[in-house]
């Protein structure tokens, strides 16, 4: 399976955050596994037609979140394991996203919907 990143240049979310969020999603979903190497900053920046600083900032964000580690002469390597959520929960997430997109929601609105649901559930919110 090919893992890809799609950048919407007209979206309100800045490009570096779009890249960071999508890569984080791939790592959490297990599409990118520990030990996998991310493309060098120059190559990904060229593929997406953005400045190298944009990708470097996205990688720094992933590193700050403990998802990847950058080693000199080796590159940026995935270090975080996939989310402990089982395949059933991941399938439910896919179904939810599919339903939300079918309803005409933009991706940012889908994320807002999830955040709203998290805020409305005080029991698990308190436990986290």
Partner 1 sequence: MFSGFLILIPLLLIVSAALAVIVGLAVSARPDHTLSRELVSARRHGVTTALVAVALQGLGLALAPASFSPNLPAVMPLVGSALALLALLVGELTWPRPRGTTRTAVIRDRSVGSLLRGGWARTAGVAAALLVFTLVVGGLLGNSSSSDAAIATVDVQPDGSMVERASGPFPGWAYGVPQLVVLVAVVGLLLLALRATTDRATVVTADLETDHLLRRASAARAFRTATFGILVTAGADLFFGGSAARNVHDGVAGVVALGVMLLGLGCLLAALVIVLVPAPRLPRTPVPVPADQVST
Binding site for partner 1 (CB under 8 A): 1-10, 23, 26, 32, 37-40, 42-44, 46-49, 75
Considering the complex, state which of residue 37 and residue 115 has its C-beta at the smaller distance from partner 1.
Answer: 37
- Residues in the chain, total: 128
Write b or e for each residue in 21-53: b if 16 or more Cβ atoms lie within 10 A of its Cβ, otherwise e. bbbbebbbeebbeeeeebeebeebbeebebeee
Considering the complex, state which of residue 6 and residue 119 has its C-beta at the smaller distance from partner 1.
Answer: 6
Closest contact distance (angstroms) between CB of 91 and partner 1 is 18
Closest contact distance (angstroms) between CB of 43 and partner 1 is 5
Q: What angle do CA 99, 105, 107 make, to 5 degrees?
A: 95
Closest contact distance (angstroms) between CB of 50 and partner 1 is 8
Considering the complex, state which of residue 49 and residue 87 has its C-beta at the smaller distance from partner 1.
Answer: 49
β-pairing verdict for 68-71 and 75-78: antiparallel
């Amino acid at each position: 399976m090919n893992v890809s990143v799609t950048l919407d240049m007209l979206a309100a979310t800045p490009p570096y955050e779009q890249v960071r969020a999508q890569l984080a999603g791939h790592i959490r979903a297990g599409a990118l596994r520990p030990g996998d190497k991310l493309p060098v900053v120059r190559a990904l920046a060229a593929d997406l037609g953005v400045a190298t600083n944009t990708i470097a900032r996205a990688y720094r964000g992933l590193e700050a979140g403990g998802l990847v580690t950058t080693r000199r002469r080796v590159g940026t390597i995935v270090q975080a394991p996939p989310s402990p959520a089982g395949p059933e929960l991941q399938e439910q997430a896919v179904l939810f996203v599919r339903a939300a997109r079918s309803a005409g929601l933009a991706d940012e609105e889908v994320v807002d919907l999830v955040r709203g649901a998290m805020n409305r559930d005080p029991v698990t919110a308190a436990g986290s």
